[in-house]
């Protein structure tokens, strides 16, 4: 299929391109920008007048709930949600049931995803068997099976010796280790940021030091082992500052933040809104503002959706008993655009946090528009408002703190490997 996308505003964060130009797609790749290549006859034309054409989005954390939690969501429903959100590549954490700790499971997930033929799925393998924090997984084999990185998802990995060995072993094969910084003993019973709101509502707290103590351990071990470390979903001002210093010292560390956390704080819990029960917890306004600044100055490399579909029944419980998480695939782009507008970040920079930068973290080619690159594209209307409500979301998870709000930025068309996989209904 040869596609001519005309009259769009092309934004390619990788090359800092931002101009009105046509783009030509052939054989699954970007064939040319500006003028058509020789002998190009489009079989399909997309009129992108008034729209932005950018690389397909790359999401570093999306739970697809397979295998094991199909009652919450299936690969089919969540892949639909991904492409409707303009996401063409996504990494899924290993906390499935069973966890992604065996090559067979990873191959099955890759195979199921490939058959759906939508976004590219990059499984993140379990760092230890069963995510129990004791024995290492067969990381090299898992990598051959398709794992792009190794993590411990939300399961505690408090044993520093196991963490050090895991990093050493991963570094042996140059495999990245992704970790979320949270000390298990300091956060075991907590459900909200230990601060003003948790104190007022009588909710058990998770102190900021649960993040900084774990982060300090991870950074020192990264230094010790030479492992490539990525910090998932940083949540505190102190944490951001530690990453900033580590980067300054030349440590090969990268970091992401959830799209929820750059907009929300503990205050949004209000009177026990279980949609704001998230992991990590929403922290103070000061923390949120530091996350925004860290994202702007590049300390934080990427924004992820932290997509975690939860069914209604699991949310209709007292706050602490309600399951943590929010749907996010379809909100990633609007939330990043909102941040860009509020923080006065040029669009080309803002989009890099959900395209080229996470692609670098993942070590994939995607996230660029230059000729020869895979034609994974997202075409969106930056000024189109839409209301976040259950029926406007394709994901099986309908719970988000942003429910009922109007958001700006609607994906009109998504291409994966030069194929149109999603087209919004004309409205």
* Alpha carbon 208 to its chain's center: 22
How many whole angstroms separate alpha carbon 422 and alpha carbon 416?
9
Contact 260, 306 (CB under 8 A): yes
How many whole angstroms separate alpha carbon 71 and alpha carbon 69?
5
Q: Is 306 known to be catalytic?
A: yes
Q: How is 13-43 classified by DSSP, letter by letter? A: TTTTEEEE--EEEETTEEEEESSPPTT---S
Decide whether 206 or 229 has the Cβ nearer to other proteins.
206
Task: Please report where in the chains the tokens 């509502």 appear, as a residue.
Answer: 201
Decide whether 116 or 320 has the Cβ nearer to other proteins.
320
Q: What tokens does 111 get?
A: 């195979």
C-alpha closest to that of 2 among 418, 423, 422: 418
Whole-number minimum distance, CB 187 to other proteins, in Å? 14
Residue 381: enclosing H or E segment and its boundaries?
strand 377-387
**3-class SS at 242?**
helix
Decide whether 276 or 374 has the Cβ nearer to other proteins.
276
C-alpha closest to that of 208 among 241, 189, 182, 184: 182
* Rg of the chain (C-alpha set): 21
Decide whether 310 or 340 has the Cβ nearer to other proteins.
310
Q: What tokens does 81 get?
A: 């949600």
How many whole angstroms separate alpha carbon 147 and alpha carbon 140?
9
Give the strand pairing for 44-47 and 17-20: unpaired
Whole-number minimum distance, CB 197 to other proteins, in Å? 9
Q: What tokens does 426 get?
A: 């004309």
Residue 421: enclosing H or E segment and its boundaries?
strand 419-423
Whole-number minimum distance, CB 104 to other proteins, in Å? 34
How many whole angstroms separate alpha carbon 222 and alpha carbon 210?
18
For the beta carbon of residue 391, count every other beta carbon within 10 angstroms: 7
Contact 233, 280 (CB under 8 A): yes
Decide whether 251 or 320 has the Cβ nearer to other proteins.
320
How many whole angstroms separate alpha carbon 381 and alpha carbon 50?
7
Question: Annotated catalytic residue: which of 12, 306, 313, 383?
Answer: 306
Helices 103-116 and 75-84: angle between axes, nearest 10 degrees: 60
Decide whether 171 or 209 has the Cβ nearer to other proteins.
209
Contact 263, 338 (CB under 8 A): yes
Chain residues binding other proteins by CB under 8 A are 194-196, 198-205, 207, 270-272, 313, 316-321
Give the strand pairing for 377-387 and 52-55: antiparallel
Catalytic machinery residues: 306
């Amino acid at each position: 299929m040869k596609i001519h996308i005309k009259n769009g505003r092309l934004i390619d964060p990788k090359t800092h391109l931002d101009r009105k130009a046509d783009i030509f797609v052939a054989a699954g790749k970007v064939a040319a920008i500006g003028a058509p290549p020789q002998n190009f006859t489009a079989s399909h034309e997309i009129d992108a007048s008034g729209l932005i054409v950018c690389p397909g989005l790359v999401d570093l954390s999306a739970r697809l709930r397979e295998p094991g939690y199909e009652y919450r969501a299936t690969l089919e429903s969540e892949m639909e949600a991904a492409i409707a959100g303009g996401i063409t590549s996504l990494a899924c954490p290993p906390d499935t049931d069973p966890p992604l700790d065996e090559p067979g499971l990873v191959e099955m997930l890759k195979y199921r995803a490939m058959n759906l033929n939508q976004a590219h799925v990059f499984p993140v393998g379990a760092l230890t068997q069963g995510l129990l924090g004791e024995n290492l997984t067969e990381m090299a084999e898992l990598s051959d099976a398709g794992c792009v990185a190794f993590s411990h998802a939300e399961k505690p990995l408090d044993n520093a010796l196991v963490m050090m060995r895991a990093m050493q072993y991963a570094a042996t094969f140059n495999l990245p280790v992704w970790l979320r910084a949270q000390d298990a003993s300091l956060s075991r019973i907590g459900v909200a940021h230990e601060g003003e709101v948790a104190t007022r509502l009588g909710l058990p707290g998770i102190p900021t030091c649960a993040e900084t103590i774990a982060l300090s351990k991870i950074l020192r071990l990264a230094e010790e082992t030479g492992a490539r470390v990525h910090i998932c979903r940083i949540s505190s001002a102190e944490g951001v500052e530690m990453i900033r210093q580590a980067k300054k010292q030349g440590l090969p560390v990268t970091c992401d933040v959830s799209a929820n956390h750059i907009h929300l704080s503990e205050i949004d819990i209000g009177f026990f809104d279980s949609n704001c029960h998230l992991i990590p917890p929403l922290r103070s306004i000061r923390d949120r503002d530091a996350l925004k600044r860290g994202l702007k100055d590049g300390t934080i490399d990427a924004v992820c959706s932290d997509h975690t579909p939860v069914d209604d029944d699991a949310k209709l419980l007292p706050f602490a008993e309600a399951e943590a998480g929010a749907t996010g695939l379809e909100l990633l782009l609007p939330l990043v655009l909102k941040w860009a507008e509020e923080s006065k970040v040029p669009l080309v920079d803002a989009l890099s946090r959900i395209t080229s930068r996470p692609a670098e973290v993942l070590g994939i080619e995607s996230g660029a528009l230059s000729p020869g690159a895979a034609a994974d594209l997202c075409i969106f209307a930056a000024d189109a408002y839409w209301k976040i409500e259950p029926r406007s979301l394709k994901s099986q998870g309908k719970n988000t703190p942003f429910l009922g709000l109007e958001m700006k930025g609607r994906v009109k068309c998504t291409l994966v490997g030069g194929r149109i996989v999603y087209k919004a209904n004309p409205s």
